Amino acid sequence: MSLWRELARGLRGLINRPAADRDIADEVEQYVDEAAASFEARGLSPEEARRAALRELGSVTAVREQVRAYGWENIVETTLADVGYAARRLRRYPIHALVAALTLALGIGASTAIFSAVNPVLFQPLPYPDPQRLMLIWDGQGGSRLDVTFGTYRELIARNRSFNAMAVMRPMQPTLAGVAEPERLDGEYVSADYFRVLGVRPALGRDFEAADDPPYDPNGPFVAIVSDTLWRRRFNADPTLVGRQILLNDIPVTVIGIMPTGFENVLSPQSEIWSTLRYDPALPFNGREWGHHLRLVARVRPEIDLDRASHELQEIAKAQLPDFERPQWASLQDGFIAHSLQDELTRSVRPALVAIVGAVILLLTIACVNVTNLLLAQGASRRGELSVRTALGASRARIIRQLLAETLLLASIGGALGIVLAHTTVDALVALSPPGLPRSNAIVVDRTVLAFTAGLTTVIGLLVGLLPALNGFRASGPGGAPQQSTRIASGHQLTRRCLVVVQVALALVLLVAAGLLLRSVQRLFAMPPGFDPTERLTMQVQVAGQRFRDAETSHRFFDSVLEAVRQVPGVTAAAFTSQLPLSGDEEAYGVHFESTPPAAAEEDPSAYRYAVSPGYFAAMGIPLRTGRALDSHDGAGAPLVAVINESFARRRLPGLNPIGQRLHIGPNSGPWFTVVGVVGDVTQTSLAVTRSDAVYLTAPQWRFTDNARWLVVRSQADAAALAPAIRRAIAAIDRNQPIIRVATMEERVRASAADRRFALLLFEAFATTALILAAIGTYSLLSGSVTERTREMGVRSALGASRLDIVALVFRQGLTLTGLGIGIGLGGAAVASRALVTLLFGVTRLDSATYAGVATLLLLVSILACAMPAWRAARVRPSVALRFE
Amino acid sequence: MDAPNTDVIQGTLDMLILKTVSLEPMHGFGITRRVEQVSRGVFKVNPGSLLTALNRLERAGWLEAEWRQTANSRRAKYYSLTRAGRKQLEEETSSWSRRASAVARILKAEA
């Protein structure tokens, strides 16, 4: 009530100031009249009475002002006056204001965009209740993070005391049949507790229960939970979907629940459907229950901290119990790797993001320094005005407040432009972001981001204004006399020179970082991938449905696809593989040779397993080193044969002829494969990972049937253009089998370095901006200095200095500052490059060529920045200088 | 003024104003005169402080203001106590007497 009155009164005062003023004046006037009347009553003459009354009151105006000064609206009013004055000043120097505002907009815009990108990853907690209690648990075999087996999960469930719940999951890509085209979905097979571990319940229907996850039975019944997006996209948000059956891979599956809007599945962001695992709790050693292919997420009990939970896991791994048998490949001898889910999710991208945040802070600093410099340059013209204002009685605080109002206004304009800039770039940022960036769907310019920008803008407005304000005040200090002369070498030049040095140094740090990344990416792409990526089109072809349950049918389908594709004009070779290099797939098995020399016994046994069609090596351009390639005789009934890569053979079979050696793939109880050939090394996960051991075999000789296979097509020219024809050829065989992830091999090579390329792109953009800003800074300093020293130049040339002498004078000044900045910057870069180490490849962080190149570039740019002012200085004629004042 | 006078004790002006207008609606000068009369000239009210205080008390909702004709037919702003103002006056009065008697006790103890 009272607050409301305050507000209403204040607003009335603001909107109708004259009426409010009149009221106050009337009241004061009436007071004086009454006082005078009272004096008159005591016998004074009317004039004397009035005088006495006024004497008692003091100045009428002062009283009016005193009454008037009460209330919040007055603060608003003076602020508005300050802002109005600031706006007038900015308008008076429009170019200056524009450059300053745009510079700030660049800095603030870049910071805002980067903040919105890193905020969900680095700062925000995961979107679950008590997210800090979620842990991701890996089998720590050989010190690396390996997916756990179902058997391990069962043992942990039974033995742990630190966790409320645990769940495992693996990806699935079911095909959803419907009225329209069949659609391949991304989803997960999960254990029944999955959503309970995350702490999220379906919005409609029910969660999975233990009864939904029995051992596999081809006759079902099968259940699924769908995401809100899938429900809206494919089922028109029809609530009766719960309880209804949908066709997944031609199998009827009952939808039992729908997840809430905005549910974010951080472990597999693109997942839209979930079904239960249906593994066998009897844990047969030769079954999929002992395959390393499950992600394990767990919720720690509230009273237990994460370290203790992790410790208990190690204890369990060490102490094997007779009740829990473990096969040799899941012996847990190296313990577990367990960390908080948040840390695990951001682990791989954190270094890059931290480096990018560092870069944007540098850029922002450079922008602020630049604007400070611009404002200081105005200081000279300001000083006279400030002196006058001080002389007229403006307080120190009032003047500083007014100067800050100006920079705050400038910063606000910059901030507003920056938000626009961030808004337009953030989508591009997401589009360019590496696929490994977690929570990229949570990147938006939201309220948190806007609050961040508002805070940032205020801080910048104050910071940028502080130095010029103090400087201006000092200049207009107690002496008070306006100093108009430009002859006096001014103290603020020193400040400005320091700022230019800072700017050059910071720009150099950014340039070195960009340079190191550029060289890393160049080195990376110079790495041989082990196959020939030119003119190769790849795509994943999948079979789904009851009739492909039979392995024969599946193999026949893929064979006929291959036949059809080879008929497409332009295709020179085509082959299938179960996993494709640089596709993101990682399917590895432990490979054990019959006769491993003792020297090689300790080597990591895991190798990527490729089930390929004959002709795969030729289609991919993978060179055969010895022996023979796999061919069409290596079919279902024929002796089991395998091909391995050369460094694998060298390491595991040192001194032996690999041809004819026998090996197990996976469990030792499996059949022996005989090595018939050795091929070159191929990178599977990334160009930066040189070690990728491989075992190749033919699809019919593998014990499972791969229902999703990669088609590799080699063409004479323009592989990408073949895609439609190949799609048509496959559709002609069966139009219900989805074709996905179409890309040329060259695109995959580029995408495999996406994280470095992303960092490089941002660093290049930031460094270029920094370079330009540093050049502007140097230029504006020199140009201002030449103007201020016009007279000096004139006197010098009158005394016989040649034009060259004067040019040299300007260059000396500019290049001294640049040199100093470069020197400091090199030191800074040597320290700062530590943050980049994980992103570098093939160059050290102190790569001398990069440092030298960058320093030279900066020097050249600053010579350019010196040239204009030097030329102007050289043209100063003595007569001009003498008339200058 | 006939007797030696002092400014109103710091922080008591609001209370004095509220007390004064609690009897009947008054304009600014009326309040000054009444305070000086009742205090027998001990307190002297500064007009600037008074008018500012009136403005503030009105904003706080303790006083209500109304433009009216005075006895000598001049337009004046009359202030009267609101219900909230009456409560405030009671609070301030009791708090004042508590503090005043505490001060008195201390002074006595010292004597």
Structure confidence by residue, pLDDT tens digits, A421-440: 999 888 888 888 887 788 88
**Does A31 reach chain B within 8 Å, measured CB to CB?**
yes
Q: What is the DSSP letter of A148?
A: B
> Who among B56, B61, B70 is closest to A70 (CB)?
B56
Residue B74 and residue A33: Cβ atoms within 8 Å? yes
pLDDT tens figures, A726-754:
999 998 988 777 788 899 999 999 888 88
CA distance A66 to A143: 76
Interior CA angle at A580 toward A575 and A584, to 5°?
160
Residue A27 and residue B28: Cβ atoms within 8 Å? yes
Residue B48 and residue A57: Cβ atoms within 8 Å? yes
CA distance A289 to A216: 11
**How far B11 CA lies from chain A's nearest CA (Å)?**
17
pLDDT tens figures, A563-616:
999 999 999 999 999 999 998 888 888 888 988 777 777 777 789 999 999 999
Residue B47 and residue A1: Cβ atoms within 8 Å? no
Residue B76 and residue A58: Cβ atoms within 8 Å? no
Predicted confidence band at A27 (pLDDT cuts at 50, 70, 90)? Answer: confident
CB pairs under 8 A between A and B: 70
Q: What is the helix, strand, coil percentage profile of chain A, to 5?
A: 55, 15, 30
CA distance A347 to A339: 10
Please name the amino acid found at residue A844.
T
Best mutation target, B5, B34, B52, B56, to test chain A (most A CBs within 10 A): B52
Would you state the pLDDT for residue A380?
62
CA distance A286 to A216: 15
Residue B48 and residue A38: Cβ atoms within 8 Å? no
Predicted confidence band at B109 (pLDDT cuts at 50, 70, 90)? Answer: confident
First to last CA, chain A: 64
Residue A34 and residue B51: Cβ atoms within 8 Å? no
All residues of chain A having their beta carbon less than 8 Å from the beta carbon of residue B51 are 24, 27-28, 31, 63, 66-67
Would you state the pLDDT for residue A883?
65
C-beta separation of A520 from A843 below 8 A: yes
Q: What is the DSSP letter of A120?
A: I
Q: A15 vs A506, which has greater pLDDT? A: A506
Q: Where are the beta strands (DSSP E) in chain B?
A: 6-7, 43-44, 63-69, 75-81
Would you state the pLDDT for residue A307?
94
CA distance B33 to B38: 8
> Who among B27, B52, B76 is closest to A70 (CB)?
B52
The share of chain B scoring above pLDDT 70, in percent, equals 90
* All residues at 6 or more sequence positions from A734 whose CB lies less than 8 Å from its CB, including other chains: A543, A557
- Joined tokens for residue A136: 């991701």
* pLDDT surpassing 50 at residue A489: no
DSSP element (H, E) containing A571: strand A571-577
Q: A828 vs A468, which has greater pLDDT? A: A828
All residues of chain B having their beta carbon less than 8 Å from the beta carbon of residue A26 are 75, 77
Of A38-47, A99-108, A511-520, A696-705, the one with minimum mean pLDDT is: A38-47
All residues of chain A having their beta carbon less than 8 Å from the beta carbon of residue B60 are 2
All residues of chain B having their beta carbon less than 8 Å from the beta carbon of residue A63 are 47-48, 51
Residue A33 and residue B59: Cβ atoms within 8 Å? no
SS3 letters across A413-429? HHHHHHHHHHHHHHHHH
Partners of residue A509 on adjacent β-strands: none
Tell me which residue of A6, A54, A9, A55 sits closest to A28, measured CA to CA: A54
- Joined tokens for residue A716: 């004479």
**Does A5 reach chain B within 8 Å, measured CB to CB?**
yes
**Does A63 reach chain B within 8 Å, measured CB to CB?**
yes
The SS3 assignment for A190 reads strand
CA distance A126 to A123: 9
Would you state the pLDDT for residue A780?
85
**Does A3 reach chain B within 8 Å, measured CB to CB?**
no
CA distance A128 to A187: 19
Pairing relation of β-strands A641-645 and A673-679?
A: parallel
Q: A787 vs A475, which has greater pLDDT? A: A787
The SS3 assignment for A340 reads strand
DSSP element (H, E) containing A625: strand A624-627
Interior CA angle at A61 toward A55 and A65, to 5°?
125
Best mutation target, B37, B45, B50, B55, to test chain A (most A CBs within 10 A): B55
Q: Which residue from A minimizes the CA distance to B85?
A: A2
Would you state the pLDDT for residue A220?
79
pLDDT tens figures, B69-102:
877 778 888 899 899 889 989 998 999 999 889 9
C-beta separation of A138 from A147 below 8 A: yes
- Joined tokens for residue A359: 């870069």
Half-sphere exposure of A404 (CA within 13 A, CB side): 16
All residues of chain B having their beta carbon less than 8 Å from the beta carbon of residue A57 are 47-48
Partners of residue A251 on adjacent β-strands: A248
Would you state the pLDDT for residue A735?
78
The share of chain A scoring above pLDDT 90, in percent, equals 47
Query: For A333-354, what is the mean pLDDT?
Result: 89
CA distance A359 to A223: 49
C-beta separation of A204 from A242 below 8 A: yes
Average pLDDT score over chain A: 87
> What ipTM, to 2 d.p.?
0.86
Partners of residue A136 on adjacent β-strands: A297, A339
Would you state the pLDDT for residue A304?
93
Would you state the pLDDT for residue A487?
42
CA distance A773 to A392: 39
> Who among B49, B59, B74 is closest to A9 (CB)?
B59
> Who among B29, B55, B56 is closest to A31 (CB)?
B29
Query: For A718-732, what is the mean pLDDT?
Result: 91
First to last CA, chain B: 33
CA distance A370 to A459: 16
Most confident of A74-88, A351-365, A391-405: A351-365
* pLDDT surpassing 90 at residue A51: no
Tell me which residue of A69, A29, A24 sits closest to A53, measured CA to CA: A29
> Who among A1, A2, A27 is closest to B51 (CB)?
A27
* pLDDT surpassing 50 at residue B3: no
Residue B48 and residue A66: Cβ atoms within 8 Å? yes
DSSP element (H, E) containing A710: strand A708-715
Residue A57 and residue B47: Cβ atoms within 8 Å? yes
pLDDT tens figures, A780-799:
888 888 887 877 888 888 88
Q: Which residue from A minimizes the CA distance to B26?
A: A31
* pLDDT surpassing 50 at residue A485: no
Q: What is the DSSP letter of A131?
A: G
The SS3 assignment for B26 reads strand
> Who among A31, A58, A66 is closest to B28 (CB)?
A31
Q: A349 vs B5, which has greater pLDDT? A: A349
Distance of CA A706 to CAs A437, A543, A577, A578, Å?
29, 9, 9, 6
**How far B38 CA lies from chain A's nearest CA (Å)?**
16
Query: For A37-58, what is the mean pLDDT?
Result: 84
> Who among B55, B72, B75 is closest to A70 (CB)?
B55
